[in-house]
Amino acid sequence: MSQSDKYMPGPAVGAKVTKDGEKWTLVLVRELRHSPEKVWSALTDPASLREWAPFDADRSLASVGSVRLSTVGTPAPQVSDTQVTRADAPRLLEYRWGENDLRWQLEPLGDGTRLTLWHNIDRNFISMGAAGWHICLDVLDRFVGGNPVGRIVGGEAMKFDWPRLKTEYENQFGI
């Protein structure tokens, strides 16, 4: 039995939507039991990203500048020339992925980290994004904790209750 066979996501929690006119932002908050330094490495190191993220990176995200992000688990990989605009280790990471701005904030919380992700995303896809990030962040948490389950993205997520999560987030967001 692989590690991923033991994984199922819990209920949709820790997400909200903010609206500024037509601009919608998904805000996800997670409390992780790992230090900000360990979480920062998972968010920026290309080898670590391959364990949990919905994209691969051609270089570390830990410094400002250009990086190419390639989607994973999609019928044809979408390659985006991305700009890392802020990289303040181990506290704040900001980059533009395609048409979306992502901001990751890490705050010490006891021995762990409060991770907050802001992702501006089209309202038609915001509950899908919430469900996808929910699973990715669960996988990140297990990877950093030394109990990896392997990346779960794209169609693979369907096997891990992604449709249920999407519906729960739609209900929470009133979409």
Largest CA distance in the chain: 48
Contact 151, 52 (CB under 8 A): yes
Helices of type H across the chain: 36-44, 46-52, 126-144, 162-173
How many structural domains compose the chain?
Answer: 1
The domain of 48 spans 3-173
Which amino acid, one-letter code, is at 58? D
Q: Which residue has the tokens 């409060």?
A: 114
Indicate the pTM of the whole model. 0.94
SS (H, E, C) 95-113: EEECCEEEEEEEEEECCEE
The alpha-carbon radius of gyration of the chain (Å, integer) is 15
Contact 105, 94 (CB under 8 A): no
Containing H/E element for 146? none
Strands 65-71 and 23-32: unpaired
Measured in residues, the chain has a length of 175
The CATH number for 157's domain is 3.30.530.20
- Residuewise pLDDT in 10s, the chain (175 residues): 566 678 999 999 999 999 988 889 999 999 999 999 999 999 999 999 999 999 999 999 999 999 999 999 888 888 999 999 999 999 999 999 988 999 999 999 999 999 999 999 998 999 999 999 999 999 999 999 999 999 999 999 999 999 999 999 999 998 8
